[in-house]
Amino acid sequence: MTVQTSVNRKDLFLRACRGETVPRLPVWMMRQAGRYLPEYREIRAKHGFLEVCKTPELATEVSLQPFRRLGVDAVIVFSDILIPAEAMGLPLELGDQGPNLPSPVRSLADVQKLRIFDPELETGFLPEAIRRIVKAVGSEVPVLGFAGAPWTLACYMVEGRTKEGFATVKQFLYQEPKTFRDLLHRIAQATIPYLKAQIAAGATAVQLFDTWCGELSLQDYQESALPAVEEVVSGISGSVPFIYYTKASRHLLRAASRSGATVLSVDWRVDLGEIRGALGPNIALQGNVDPAVLLGPRERIREVTLDAIHSLAGRGHILNLGHGILPDTPVENAQLFVETGQQALLGEMRPAAQSR
């Protein structure tokens, strides 16, 4: 695919983050650098996952692959949300089968061992990759940094791996709430300089992934997870747009919208128009096509994508998937999603969208 050069992608992206009307939606995909791309699989055949994350030239190449192949409107740096957990002192094993932290955090003593790290000294490969990406794409393409939200990172740090329901994490939260909140605070305090280093390296915006917040009740979310998110957002101090992604979180979205984030990124389980009606126009939205739709026929991909575009009539909306692109997605289907978003002129759509 030929990358469109007539649009200033960074301006388009920033206008959408500010809730402004745009001629077309900016579009990118979570996990857009990944196993569905044959060029990514070629690199992974020679290099381990963590090796790619920690080698700036490899991370840069992988990050740029979907930009070259699909012409997406933003390049997100290739990394993993558990990189800070390792820098805080936890051994980390990462592969395509998921993460493993063999020395999980289970006590006050474990929490107190965690350290606040210098991101340039201990994770300098990440800002270096961002600097290289910025140089490669130029001044008119947004480059995105990211981190895991404190609650989601804590789920892995306490459980040691992904487990349905995260029972060990909740047991820790309920039996030792003060210690657990200290854990969330420490993660937040480590995340702030980690994101600031990415911004200093040239990130146009940053995204906080709270993949597992939907496991919490509204009360637990408001009392534990949300304050830690607010701490991170406040620590960034509005220097760049802040995107907050939540999954399976319909019951939490009103509270999540009060986090201070510029953009709320939501999954496919919610209707974007309903969320905009409930939350108002002061927070932009990102999403929310079901990644599984990209496994289906082309007509369905186009229909669902156009539905998402229509739902907000182009104001304060970044087109994305509701979660990461699936590894079995055909490349041509990913291309169709991106092209459908980029070719939909919003001025022609607004009357139809307003009549829905």
156 a catalytic residue: yes
118 a catalytic residue: no
- pLDDT, averaged in runs of 10, over the chain (356 residues): 64 96 95 97 96 98 98 98 97 82 95 96 98 98 98 96 86 97 98 98 98 97 98 94 97 97 97 95 96 98 96 94 97 98 73 36
Domain range holding 32? 9-355
44 a catalytic residue: yes
Specify if 4 maps to a domain: no
Specify if 1 maps to a domain: no
The pLDDT value given to residue 348: 55
Total domain count, the chain: 1
The pLDDT value given to residue 282: 92
> pTM, whole model, 2 decimals?
0.94
Specify if 203 maps to a domain: yes
35 a catalytic residue: yes
Which position among 9, 31, 186, 315 bears the catalytic label? 31
Which position among 36, 156, 244, 245 bears the catalytic label? 156
The pLDDT value given to residue 5: 45
Half-sphere exposure of 317 (CA within 13 A, CB side): 30
Cis, peptide link before residue 288, omega less than 30° from 0: yes
Specify if 215 maps to a domain: yes
Which position among 24, 44, 132, 315 bears the catalytic label? 44
Specify if 3 maps to a domain: no
Specify if 209 maps to a domain: yes
The pLDDT value given to residue 94: 80
Specify if 2 maps to a domain: no
CATH number at residue 47: 3.20.20.210
Query: How crowded is residue 216: how many other Cβ atoms within 10 Å of its Cβ?
Result: 23
Alpha helices in the chain (DSSP H): 9-17, 38-44, 49-54, 56-70, 83-87, 108-113, 119-122, 125-137, 150-159, 167-175, 177-200, 218-220, 226-236, 253-256, 272-279, 298-311, 331-343, 346-355
The pLDDT value given to residue 164: 76
The pLDDT value given to residue 306: 97
